Amino acid sequence: MHAIAIHGGAGTITRAAMTPALEAAYNAGLERAVREGHNVLAGGGSSIDAVTAAVLVLEDDSLFNAGRGAVFNAAGEHELDAAIMDGATLEAGCVTGLKQVKSPILVARAVMERTRHVMLAGEGAEAFAISQGFEVVSPEYFYTENRWQALVRMQERLTGNASVLLNDADKHGTVGAVALDDEGNLAAATSTGGHTHKMVGRVGDTPIIGAGTYADNDACAISCTGDGEHFIRLAVAHDVASRMRYLGESLQAATRQVVMEALPALSGSGGLIAIDRFGNIAMPFNTSGMYRAAIDATGTLTVAIYRD
């Protein structure tokens, strides 16, 4: 039995703000990613390989805030974060502050598999990536005009121009994947460019194990998206797993309590994707939309954006 779910970020996502062509492009990107990961599982591959494959597709899709298409920080630069975790062994790898490596999720996985550490940051993470032969690109590779204009709008708003309207797509976004393979092993992977106009050096929940990313065969695999600072404060991913382990809650009950009750109590918004060892999938969010897709244990494909 195998299954997979992915996300491309949560926020205020409405049909009114979406053209038919853009909506179709998002749906196509989500379907490509989930099918890429599912193909790995269907071929007998591991959950780690599946989540890696799915996230790589999303990192290469300029519609999503990860890899190519990542947002700009306050200095007009990109700082990329990623994490991956193996539910069978609890091994994990994370990177933060990458500026010139094409595929952050591959570097995170290399930290897990080729070092004795869990997290590498900034120049050290980039030096490691280069030493391992990962592809280095110029800053222009990550540039997209819509992300640059989002930075411009944010700067104008912060300097007092109240007439400038912002939306969640201008501010943040994340991509992620969770999977269960035929051996019963779970895995999770997450990647992001962070927040538009974030302070240089800011680290969100994505690369923090237990906050934005977590996997444990005894409970579930989780990848989060939303207001990272709130996810860190609540240790959201680990809290869901803990509720399942210690309270005996189902995946649906545990994820709903954290996303729909605990997060809003701190004025936190966002969502997550999760899968348990039985192949159950949960994709709750407390915003108007979350880019998401899944192929469950029956082979049924779901691709969705809005709440309704």
**Active site positions, annotated:** 174
Distance (Å) of CA 77 to CA 139, 140, 241: 8, 10, 35
Question: Do residues 102 and 229 touch, judged by C-beta distance below 8 A?
Answer: no
What 3-state DSSP class applies to 117? Answer: coil
Q: What's the rounded Cα separation, in Å, for the pair 45 and 145?
A: 37
Question: Do residues 155 and 46 touch, judged by C-beta distance below 8 A?
Answer: no
Read off φ and ψ for residue 3, nearest 5 degrees.
Answer: -160, 160
Residues 6+ apart with CB under 8 A from 221: 47, 85, 87, 178, 179, 180, 186, 187, 188, 214, 215, 274, 275
Q: Which amino acid is it at 161?
A: N
Written as six digits, the tokens of 41 are: 């599982």
Nearest to 275 by CA among 247, 237, 308: 237
Sign of CA dihedral 236, 237, 240, 243: negative
Kindly give the residue spans of alpha helices, DSSP state H, lying in the chain: 20-42, 47-59, 104-114, 122-131, 145-158, 168-171, 228-234, 236-247, 251-257, 263-265
Bridge partners for 146 per DSSP:
none
Nearest to 53 by CA among 40, 68, 69: 40
Q: What angle do CA 263, 269, 275 make, to 5 degrees?
A: 75
Q: What's the rounded Cα separation, in Å, for the pair 58 and 67?
A: 8
Work out the number of other CB atoms within 10 angstroms of the CB of residue 32. 16
